[in-house]
Amino acid sequence: MKLIETLKNVWKITELKDRIILTLGMLLVYRFGAQVVLPGIDASKLGALGDSTDSGLLGLLNAFTGGAFANASVFALGIMPYISASIVVQLMGIAIPYLQKLQKEGASGQKKITQITRWLTIAICLVQAPGYLVSLPSLGIPQEAFLLGQGGLFYFSSIVILVTGTIFAMWLGEKITDKGIGNGISILIMVGIIATLPVSFVQEYAARVTESNGGLIMILIELVVWFVIILASVMLVMAVRKIAVQYARRTQSGGYEKNVFGSRQYIPLKLNASGVMPIIFAQAIMFVPGLIGGMDFMKDSSVGQWMQTNFQDMFGLWYNVVFAILIIIFTYFYTAITVPTNKMADDLKRSGGFIPGIRPGTETSEYLDKIMSQITLPGSIFLALIAVFPAFIVKLMNVQQGWALFFGGTSLLIMVGVAIDTMQQVNSYLLNKHYDGLMKTGKNRKG
């Protein structure tokens, strides 16, 4: 089979094999850490915490951490503080001149931005860790589960461990990006989501079969719908990856340079240049209203109760409306900061290229920006529709909320998007090896 032959070819490339092994090792460490319970907590009495995180926003947060949140694990905060810090730094990059300057400095500036993000991650962890520990009793953990009590020593040691766990998870993600197969942070989130899939399916199976709620027929229908949605998501993501803008390149004689495309060349622009990041960004923001509404100074007010009612139910109307709007906004925002239309226009001008009918320089930049705005709209709407689809599944098919998360939404989009990006990374190695294999000198080249 072609798939088996491809896998054999992957294993023949020394560098790619080493990167895959390193990535798998890092993921194994991450999954092991998700099962290590915080010192001073009895692991046998965490059942109520698991029950309280089966659905809703806590269920999604637990999925992002691969079950570490429900395990009161050293990785309970997961990688989300780093995602939150990245959002804050990128938002500040619009208004703070210093960050704007760093963004223009290339690799050295990006290195400083990464360092700022790391420090901000620690600051966020120092806020989230105490909040998580304080909320454990309200989430169902009995007092006898705290073997050493809930004194200052417990809080101090647990906060240090939780912060360290997030920093270590961030380090794992960066190493996967640098030394592994890339997309380290996204892969950590994807693996965490996949880890909760079997449990969610078993719960759905039990609800359908043991409770005579549709039986095996409904399970079969759900699986068919699930596979159809996955295939549709993959096909649509692949279909909207790129659109081309024609441009011409003048020669010294004043004519057009001829190539295999005739007298025109192409600038590939993505319909969805931001990937799954808008989903992750929007989901991080959606945790905020419910948390604010549940705070002591807000929970008894009408506004606080409204926020708790509408934003702690991730399958409710208002939650999904705001979620979809945020996804569209973040798609435009992330595209604007990752697609340098000004640089593209300058590069075209320096190389003697121009878009027919458009003046080189500023007009070209404005034209490319206009094209990106137009093609980003359908991409952002597609992301938003897939993201809110689980709400429709819950209403139409009465699916368990934990299992419904895999019928679209954040979970499915992250899984599909990261899987496609990872396969493209591996495919690039295969293509490079195939190209080198045409030459005798590259045939036995190591790495």
- 26, 51 contact by CB (below 8 A): no
In a domain, 347, yes or no: yes
Q: Exposure string (b/e) for 418-444, b if CB count within 10 Å is 16 or more?
A: bbbbbeeebeebeeebeeeeeeeeeee
Q: Do residues 223 and 186 share a domain?
A: no
Last residue of a domain, one of 196, 222, 245: 196
Element (H, E) at 358: none
Q: Do residues 174 and 222 share a domain?
A: no
In a domain, 202, yes or no: no
Name beta bridge partners: 79: none
Element (H, E) at 139: none
Q: What CA–CA distance (Å, rounded) separates 335 from 383?
A: 14
Q: Is the pLDDT of residue 28 over 90?
A: yes
Q: Do residues 239 and 191 share a domain?
A: no
DSSP state of 244: E
DSSP 298-316: TTTSHHHHHHHHHHS-TTS
pLDDT score for 201 = 85
At 399-408, the pLDDT tens digits run: 887 788 787 7
Q: Do residues 236 and 275 share a domain?
A: yes
Q: What CA–CA distance (Å, rounded) separates 399 from 394?
A: 5
Q: Is the pLDDT of residue 196 over 50?
A: yes
**Residues sharing a CB contact under 8 Å with residue 440, sequence separation 6 or more, in sequence order:** none
87-91, 242-246, 363-367: least confident range:
242-246
**Torsion angle of C-alpha atoms 410, 36, 176, 284, degrees rounded to 10:** 30
Reference 415, options 406, 402, 403, 426; nearest CA is 406
Averaging pLDDT over each range in 33-42, 63-72, 282-291, 411-420, which range is the top one? Answer: 33-42
Say which CATH number the domain at 33 has: 1.10.3370.10
Strands (E), 252-371: 265-269, 353-354
Angle, CA of 375, 381 and 383, to the nearest 5°: 105
pLDDT score for 262 = 46
**Residues sharing a CB contact under 8 Å with residue 294, sequence separation 6 or more, in sequence order:** 304, 308, 312
pLDDT score for 255 = 47
Q: Do residues 357 and 383 share a domain?
A: yes
Confidence class of residue 443 from pLDDT cuts 50, 70 and 90?
Answer: very low
Average pLDDT over all residues of the chain: 79
- 259, 248 contact by CB (below 8 A): no
Q: Do residues 143 and 75 share a domain?
A: yes
Q: Do residues 237 and 351 share a domain?
A: yes
Tell me the mean pLDDT in the region 180-192: 85
21-25, 336-340, 397-401, 437-441: least confident range:
437-441
Q: Is 215 left (phi over 0), alpha (psi -120 to 50) or beta?
A: left
Q: What CA–CA distance (Å, rounded) separates 294 from 304?
A: 7
**Residues sharing a CB contact under 8 Å with residue 418, sequence separation 6 or more, in sequence order:** 183, 186, 187, 189, 190, 276
Share of the chain above pLDDT 70, in %: 85
pLDDT score for 447 = 40
In a domain, 397, yes or no: yes
Higher-confidence residue of 373 and 276: namely: 373
Provide the domain count of the chain.
2
Radius of gyration of the chain (CA): 25
Q: What CA–CA distance (Å, rounded) separates 145 from 320?
A: 36
- Beta 243-249 vs 265-269: how paired, if at all? antiparallel
Q: Is the pLDDT of residue 160 over 90?
A: yes
- 282, 266 contact by CB (below 8 A): no
Reference 18, options 186, 243, 179; nearest CA is 179
In a domain, 47, yes or no: yes
Q: Do residues 406 and 313 share a domain?
A: yes
Domain that holds residue 421: 214-447
Q: Do residues 167 and 302 share a domain?
A: no
Collapsed DSSP state (helix, strand, coil) of residue 365 = helix
66-80, 112-126, 207-221: least confident range:
207-221
Q: Do residues 248 and 180 share a domain?
A: no
pLDDT score for 388 = 86
Q: Do residues 231 and 192 share a domain?
A: no
Helical H segments across 13-106, by residue range? 14-33, 47-52, 56-64, 80-95, 97-103
Higher-confidence residue of 96 and 291: namely: 96
- 348, 359 contact by CB (below 8 A): no
Reference 192, options 78, 83, 21; nearest CA is 78
Q: Do residues 173 and 219 share a domain?
A: no
pLDDT score for 62 = 79
Tell me the mean pLDDT in the region 199-206: 83
Name beta bridge partners: 248: 354
At 418-429, the pLDDT tens digits run: 887 788 777 777
Q: How far is Cα of residue 124 from the mean position of the Cα atoms in its chain? A: 19
Q: Is the pLDDT of residue 435 over 50?
A: no
Give the largest Cα separation in the chain, rounded.
85
Tell me the mean pLDDT in the region 106-117: 86
Q: How far is CA 184 from CA 35, 57, 175, 190, in A?
A: 20, 24, 7, 10
In a domain, 208, yes or no: no
Q: How far is CA 297 from CA 64, 131, 371, in A?
A: 29, 15, 47
Q: Is the pLDDT of residue 125 over 90?
A: yes
